[in-house]
A and B are shown apart, each in its own frame.
Chain A
Amino acid sequence: MPKIMKPTRRDVLKYGAAATTALCTPFVSRAWAETVEINMLAWYGHGEPDVVGEFEAANNVKFKPKYYAGGDNMMALIAQSPPGTYDVILSDAEFVQQLNAAGYIDELNPADYPFDDMLYDDFKKFPGHWKDGKLYSVMLRFGHLGVSYNTPAVSEEEAMSYKAFWKPELKGKVGHFDWHLPNLGQMSLYNGNGAKLWDQDEAGWKKIQETTMSLRPQVGGFFDYGGTFNGLKNNEMMAMAGIGDWITGVLERDGAPVKSVVPKEGGIQFTESYSIGKGTSKADIAKKFIQYMMSPDGQVHSARMLAYPAFCVTKGGRAKLNEVDPKEAQRTGQVDGMPNDPITLIKDGRIHYRNTPQQQSLEDWNEFWQEYKNAS
């Protein structure tokens, strides 16, 4: 058995006490501040200080975020918590309907939110956000998914088609963001399904599976959020499916040679919306928070979110972004009249809102994804 150096007991006590005091000071002062805690369920980053810090300070509240990855994951987290656990819920737009059907979210008053200021008509009546004329969720931000690639390894021309993933030089260097929906959606687009990418019958679904399987030899890994970052950053992965600027944008800011484009087969839009959890005792402050996030200030915070950037949904937000951070506005095309203005892309029909499969169940897709991951 080991023998150890022997500081005297007094030494231990002395240094121990000093260290404890030093460590606890900031913590004690925090613990005593009287703040309201708001439980948030969201994708990673939405409850971080860079987004909610100002609101926290102004309203003496503190966000307690629980992060998920993927809509099915979100549903599972809510289902396993007692009702009223989450005060605000940020969900992918295509899951709002399911949240509502399961009775997890409260009705909202449209007059509370800046619907007149929305950049695009679709955003006012986003599918699933209204039911029987009642509003349940407000669209906060959106982003586009396409081909993300390492610029020295893939040219922009190549990246303009999903075919780039099959490029022989990329063998073992194509990564997947580990969620079936955006990946299989892209495969469906590559099959030429266009606007009907989610609405495929048995034959179409079979073909999506075949296309996906044919990509398997190229695949270097399946990554969560952090792994996706790391893989692209340290050159482990030269191309990544299922993501877009929401990841490469962060890396670009960090100086990495990566980029995302919307290929010619079309891109997928992820849409994130806020809802108020049913049974919350903090509905008022939750409403105030959503109003803040929809204000120009909040929109800019959301657009520049450190964890992953996205586009503003209001005109006010876009104007403010151009004022505060013209460089980021330029980089992401959020300037009226730019050819890659995300709104223009939508209007041109190159973008399809992410959705859940229409003719198969999510479980079918998920199960195939498991199979795909285990294939060799």
Chain B
Amino acid sequence: MKDDLLLRWILRSYTALVFLFVFAPIVASLVFSFNSDRFPTIPLGSFTTGWYVKAFSNPEVWDAALRSLVVSSVTAILSTAIGFSAAYTDYRYNFTGKTAFVVLALLPPTIPLIIFALAMLGWLSMFNASGMTVSIIIAHTVLCAPFAMAVIRLRLNQMDPNLEPAAWNLGASEWVTMKSVVIPFTLPSIIASLCLTAAVSFDEFAVAWFVSGLNKTIPVVILEILTGNIDPQVNAIGTAVFLVSITLVVIAQMLVMGRAKKPETT
């Protein structure tokens, strides 16, 4: 038993180290965002909120923030709609080619972003459709739809397969059943998917960088500051972006968790 305690203690410390590794950069960037040095080195300079002031007074950053907001909201809606239809199809139907359908639905995340970015750039340029905000939305929707599908599919798993037939037996059409039974049941997962896909889109930089042209999103601005004039603004922007993303994730989590437990009680 003593042996067990020692082992547990070692494993616990080890796990703590892993977490330290994971969180070190997040904490470091928070610290650097308040550090006066332009090229942060040790020892640190003095405390400043100047980088935040600089970032927030930069119209380019606001411009990008607005674009990120538009891109991520539209992406969230589109990819959730597509993800929902795919999840529902997978839940309800068996048909020839279904395997291909599911593979098509889940494949995008396995293609490295940089490759997808190149392919998308080539494809969109052919139609003179690259370099626009819409180009980013199109690409991000492709990337986010699988996540939406996964989240909604999980929720559909919890739905009683007899629920829909019951409604039909009561005379409701399929569309009415969808509207009054399926959608209300999956609503928490739909909202969770909206938040999740918005967050994924809000953070994506590789594809956005390739297809955005002059229309930069926040992560592209960060990338350009990193490749351009290294500037701790990125830490300030990064911290702000983190707050936005994490808020979306927490909302998504609360909705999924909050409702997931309910079926037991209702």
In chain B, what residue has the closest Cβ to A235? B41
Smallest beta-carbon distance B243→chain A, Å: 9
CB interface residues, A 344-358, toward B, < 8 Å = none
The residue from B65, B128, B214, B253 contacting A2, defined by CB atoms under 8 A apart: B253
B38 within 8 A of A: yes
In the assembled complex, A168 has its CB within 8 A of some CB on chain B: no
Which B residues are within 8 Å of any A CB, using their own CB?
Answer: 38-39, 41, 56-59, 62, 65-66, 121, 125, 128, 130-131, 213-214, 224-230, 247, 250-251, 253-254, 256-257, 260
The segment out of A77-85, A185-193, A214-222, A363-371 that lies at the interface is A77-85
| 6 closest Cβ pairs, A-B complex | A44-B228, A233-B39, A226-B230, A224-B227, A27-B62, A307-B229
A27-71 interface with B by 8 A CB criterion: 27, 30-31, 39, 44-45, 49, 62, 64, 66-67, 69
Q: Are B260 and A26 in contact (CB-based, < 8 A)? A: no
Interface set, chain A 294-348, CB cutoff 8 A to B: 306-307
Give A333 Cβ to nearest chain B Cβ, in Å.
Answer: 24
A93 CB → nearest B CB, Å: 21
Closest chain A residue, CB of each to CB of B229: A307
Name A186-229 residues within 8 Å CB distance of B.
224-227, 229
- Nearest CB to that of A27 among chain B residues? B62
Task: Kindly list chain A residues whose C-beta atoms are within 8 Å of the C-beta of B121.
Answer: 80
- Is the beta-carbon distance between A226 and B228 smaller than 8 angstroms? yes
Residues of B within 8 A of A226 (CB): 225-230
Is there contact, CB below 8 Å, between A230 and B62?
no
| Residues of A with C-beta under 8 A to B131 | 80-82, 85
Is the pair A254, B39 in contact by a Cβ cutoff of 8 Å?
yes
Query: A82-96 interface mask toward B, CB cutoff 8 Å, 1 = contact, 0 = none?
Result: 100100000000000
17 of the cross-chain contacts (CB-CB < 8 Å) are: A1-B257, A4-B257, A6-B254, A27-B65, A30-B59, A31-B66, A49-B58, A66-B213, A80-B131, A81-B131, A225-B227, A226-B228, A227-B230, A229-B39, A254-B38, A254-B39, A307-B229
Q: Which of chain A's residues has its CB closest to B228's CB?
A: A44
- With an 8 A cutoff between CB atoms, is A3 at the interface? yes
Q: Which residues of B contact A44 (CB under 8 A)?
A: 224, 227-229
> Is B251 a contact partner of A12 (Cβ separation < 8 A)?
yes
Whole-angstrom CA separation of A31 from B67 in the bound complex: 12
What 1/0 flags go to A254-298 for Cβ under 8 Å of B?
101000000000000000000000000000000000000000000
**Sample of 20 further A-B pairs with CB below 8 A, known A2-B253, A30-B59:** A1-B260, A4-B254, A26-B62, A31-B66, A39-B214, A44-B229, A45-B229, A66-B214, A80-B125, A80-B131, A81-B213, A85-B213, A225-B227, A226-B229, A227-B227, A229-B229, A230-B230, A234-B41, A254-B38, A256-B39
CA distance A49 to B250 in the complex (A): 37
Question: What's the Cα separation between A165 and B175 when bound, in Å?
Answer: 73
Taking CB atoms, residues of chain B closer than 8 Å to A4 are: 250, 253-254, 257
Whole-angstrom distance between the alpha carbons of A85 and B125 in the complex? 14
| Chain B residues, Cβ within 8 Å of A256 | 39
Q: Do B230 and A85 touch across chains, with their CB atoms under 8 A apart?
A: no
In the complex, what residues of B have CB within 8 A of residue A49's CB? 58
Chain A contacts for B213, CB-based, 8 A = 66, 81, 85
In the assembled complex, the CB of B236 is this many whole angstroms from the nearest CB of chain A, namely 13
- Contacting residues, chain A, for B227 (C-beta < 8 A): 44, 69, 224-227
| Interface positions of A from 68 to 122, Cβ below 8 Å from B | 69, 80-82, 85
A251's closest neighbor in chain B, by CB?
B39
Cβ distance B30 to chain A, nearest Cβ, rounded Å:
18
Chain B residues with CB under 8 Å of A229's CB are 39, 229-230
* Chain A residues positioned under 8 Å from B56 (CB to CB): 26
Q: Which residues of B contact A307 (CB under 8 A)?
A: 228-229
Q: Is the pair B130, A306 in contact by a Cβ cutoff of 8 Å?
A: no
What is the CA–CA distance of A30 and B224 in the complex, to the nearest angstrom? 22
| Complex interface bits, A1-26 against B, C-beta within 8 A gives 1, otherwise 0 | 11110100000100010000000001
From B41, B130, B228, B253, give the contact of A67 (CB < 8 A). B228
By beta carbon, the residue of chain B nearest A80 is B125
A64-B214, A66-B213 given as contacts; is B229 within 8 A of A3 (CB)? no
Q: How far is the CA of A306 from the CA of B231 in the complex (A)?
A: 11
Which residues on the A side are within 8 Å of B225 (C-beta)? 226
A2-B257, A81-B213, A233-B39 known; A62 vs B59 contact (CB < 8 Å): yes
Residues of B within 8 A of A6 (CB): 254
